Amino acid sequence: MLRLIGILMIILMIFSGITYFLHRFFKNKYIKYIPAMFAFLWGIYNFYGVGRMPAEGFQDLARAIIGVMMMVGFLSATATGLVIDFLIPIRNRKRMGRNKQ
């Protein structure tokens, strides 16, 4: 169980980092959401494949675990993008107001 939590934390950091770097390198506001959409689509595909596609052995379990991992990536990338879009500008506006006084 600790390994799974560790892997989920690594995925969280990877997707958050990719989202942050896309924000820094591209001025388009929506580019940073590409990793989130990729993770969401891949996660949905894996969850769909659990019951619909033929599998051998523990392949269904592996698809479910990969689906969970991709949903963690989706949530972390989306949360990072929303923080960058909404919370950081609010914080910067408050700092600008303090500097004027």
Strand, coil or helix: 1: coil
Kindly report, residue by residue over 51-101, the tens digit of the pLDDT.
888 878 888 899 999 999 999 999 999 999 999 888 777 777 777 766 665
d(CA 60, CA 49): 8
For 4, the token pair is 């799974």
Which structural domain range is residue 85 located in?
2-100
**Structural domain total, the chain:** 1
Does residue 38 surpass a pLDDT of 90? yes
Secondary structure of 84-101 as H, E, C letters:
HHHHHHHHHHHHHHHHHC
User: The pTM is what?
Assistant: 0.82
pLDDT classification of 12: cutoffs 50, 70, 90: very high
